[in-house]
């Protein structure tokens, strides 16, 4: 489990491609402290298992499922990536609960100054937007952010200068793809409501009656 609080920006040294997987070699410093083979590190919000620890870097393998759901294939040698080690039980949950299991990708539509902060609007599919709510949490390339607004086909977040300078979000430009992980709690709530225990007849998410109005009526939104 992660928090969405980025520890450092690493750089991709090498990407070795196989028939249905890739091995990433990433140069880093801080996230290597105390890290052992088998530990988890989130790379742009993607939970990857450390397989090798050469000096000054780590290696991790990403399989086809990960490649199909994320923007990993857009990376190249020299690409800067957000890095976070898995949360220690003694640590603070400074962001929100992030599993490191990316739901899909979105694209940056526009950037707009908002005082010292910057408003970033991202395009996303309706499949993802159903779990993104105003004032809720979303992880963008592994960065924990609060949703400022949700509209048709898009959502907006407000990013403070510190986050822009300490993550790769400050380097993003309109059209860039980003990894999105929606709030895991919302997905479980929907799952439990759609599949109640001891019920033979189960609802289909495509025909779900779970709407914003339903959640508001039951005090869940």
Question: What DSSP assignment string belongs to 90-159?
Answer: TS---S--B-S---EEEEEEEEEEETTEEEEEEE--HHHHTT--TT-EEEETTEEEEEEEEETTEEEEEE
How far, in Å, CA of 145 to CA of 158, rounded? 8
Across the range 51-78, mean pLDDT stands at 96
Q: Domains in the chain, ordered, with CATH?
A: 8-85 (2.40.30.20), 185-217 (no CATH)
Q: Could you read off the pLDDT of 38-56 as tens digits, one per residue? A: 999 999 999 999 999 999 9
Q: What is the pLDDT of residues 146-178, one digit of tens each?
A: 999 999 999 999 999 999 999 999 999 999 999
Residue 60: enclosing H or E segment and its boundaries? strand 57-63
């Amino acid at each position: 489990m992660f928090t969405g609080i980025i520890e450092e920006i690493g750089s991709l040294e090498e990407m070795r491609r196989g028939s249905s997987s890739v091995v990433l070699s990433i140069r880093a410093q801080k996230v290597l402290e105390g890290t052992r083979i088998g530990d988890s590190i989130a790379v742009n919000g993607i939970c990857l298992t450390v397989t090798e620890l050469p000096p000054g870097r780590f290696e991790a393998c990403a399989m086809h499922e990960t490649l199909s759901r994320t923007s990993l294939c857009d990376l190249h040698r020299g690409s800067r990536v957000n890095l976070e080690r898995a949360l220690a039980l003694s640590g603070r949950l400074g962001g929100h609960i992030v599993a490191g299991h990316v739901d899909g990708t979105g694209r940056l539509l526009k950037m707009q100054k908002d005082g010292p902060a910057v408003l970033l609007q991202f395009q996303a599919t309706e499949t993802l937007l159903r779990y993104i709510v105003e004032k809720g949490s979303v992880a963008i390339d592994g960065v924990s952010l609060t949703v400022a607004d949700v509209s048709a086909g898009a959502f907006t977040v407000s990013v403070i200068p510190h986050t822009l300078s300490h993550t790769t979000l400050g380097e993003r430009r309109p059209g860039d793809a980003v990894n999105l992980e929606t709030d895991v709690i919302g997905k479980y709530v929907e799952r439990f409501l759609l599949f109640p225990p001891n019920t033979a007849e189960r609802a289909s998410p495509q025909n779900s009656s779970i709407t914003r109005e339903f959640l508001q009526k039951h005090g869940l939104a």
